[in-house]
Chain A
Amino acid sequence: MQPITLKKKKEYIESLETSSRRHSQWRDILGRLWRNKLGMVGFFIVAVILLLIILADLVAPIPYDKQNFAERFLYPNSVHLLGTDNFGRDMWSRLLFGGRISLFVAIISVCISLFVGAILGSTAGYFGGKLDTIITRILDIVMAIPGLLLAIAISAMLGSGPVNTALAISISGMPGAARLIRSTVMAIKGNEFVEAARATGSRHGRVIFKHVLPNAIAPLIVYSTMSIGGSILAISGLSFIGLGVQPPIPEWGSILMAGRPFVRDFWPMIVFPGIFIGLTLLGFNLFGDALRDALDPKLKN
């Protein structure tokens, strides 16, 4: 009976070890994240803005599209926290509901570009050879067009509106995602566990989705956090020049554009949307940096 108990004991210890190791890896990451003060500031900013946007119905009781010509161009006061715009609409409500559009479009566009980028990038990186050459060549060409210009051309083609804007931005962001995923997949492909999976008879698709991509999750998380900020910037930039999301739909860029004619006389219509855009970008940048440092300490430079 002795050998069996010994074996069991060994197994038990091993299982303990692996579970504690897995546990401590995530705990390590969270710990590193927690210790990064700037990152926590970023997280706090993002969390507060997200909360405000999600709870917009509660924190901003005045409807964002309610016009009141008796109350145009009001400076911030107790009823209208951030004042009113040129139609007498409440700026606080408009900015919070506008944030919903901005963030919604940003998240959708990042998801699309990650999805398409994952397919293209993992195909190119995993199979290599001619397929890789063709895909990277095409990506190079698309990347040669500055993202903003490509987004301008595509969203002029598709027309305005949240979904079309998301598409335009995702297309211009897709080559970057595909490139990142390609290089990550190429690095992972050389590992023994991929070879082992192939040796046990897994098909290529299964190897990619079950073994390769889950190991590429860290750079993907970092990439998506960073590019949500970039997408918000792109959306508000597009809306600002008259593409993207158009008034009367509130969006940070389009609110800013609406305030532009009043740059001489009425500052709240420019300052508040500007602050919202800047703070959100700052939050995502800081949090993204911290995530990168926490998830991959080797990457930290």
Chain B
Amino acid sequence: MKHTAEEMMTVAAARELRDGQTVFVGIDLPSRAANLARRLHAPGLVLVYESGTIDTRPDELPLSIGDGVLTEHALTVVGVPEIFNYWLQAGRMDVGFLSGAQIDRYANLNTTVIGEYDEPDVRLPGSGGAPEISAGCREVIVVMRHRKRAFVDRVDFVTTFGHGSGPTDRALLGLHGAGPVRVITDLGVLEPDPGSKELMLTALHPGCTVEQVRAETGWTLEIADDLGETTPPTERELTTLRAMRTVGADRR
């Protein structure tokens, strides 16, 4: 079966999640990948959304973070202060799944503004739960389309702290989790260099080239010595992904 770059990204992200893990899920790309994982190799994956829905098993993808479909299929629903204080901040989440408008070489994310804060070129939605997801989860996986305007040397605004400007920053700030451990794009996979914490290319998706990835990256990207190639989506992965529908968004 032929697949698109977008499908490869979603499948590669879904494969990152293991059965039984607790995952704090952002909307859109992360939500699609997490729900795909639950339908494939991780039926016991515990999905938690910031709307307070815990261990939810939606039969259709939610359009928003608080759709009714999340409540109807949840083990329990708690208030927003509880979800952030008791569940996220207290360290009960294994994996945080995030996306953003900009990411930099140290995996810091920007969802606030393009340009200056006081006179922005583009005003973006802002923080939401992302800063605390990155601070509180044991590890963070980022899913983003690989474009030069998004993969920048320095983000215009640090909305969500990744690795700051190097290997010691998270510890200095008292952040408990490991921070971003992998960035899954539609071209390949980036991981922080264990020493410097700078993102480097560790795998290419089938049909993608190093030149292509470099052309879409706003810093001089290091390439791992043992650069891997992602296994293409299986027929089962693709069929399952294509069968997933978003609630009430059939007109998109």
Q: Are A and B co-members of a single complex?
A: no
Chain B residues near A (Cβ < 8 Å):
none
Chain A residues near B (Cβ < 8 Å):
none
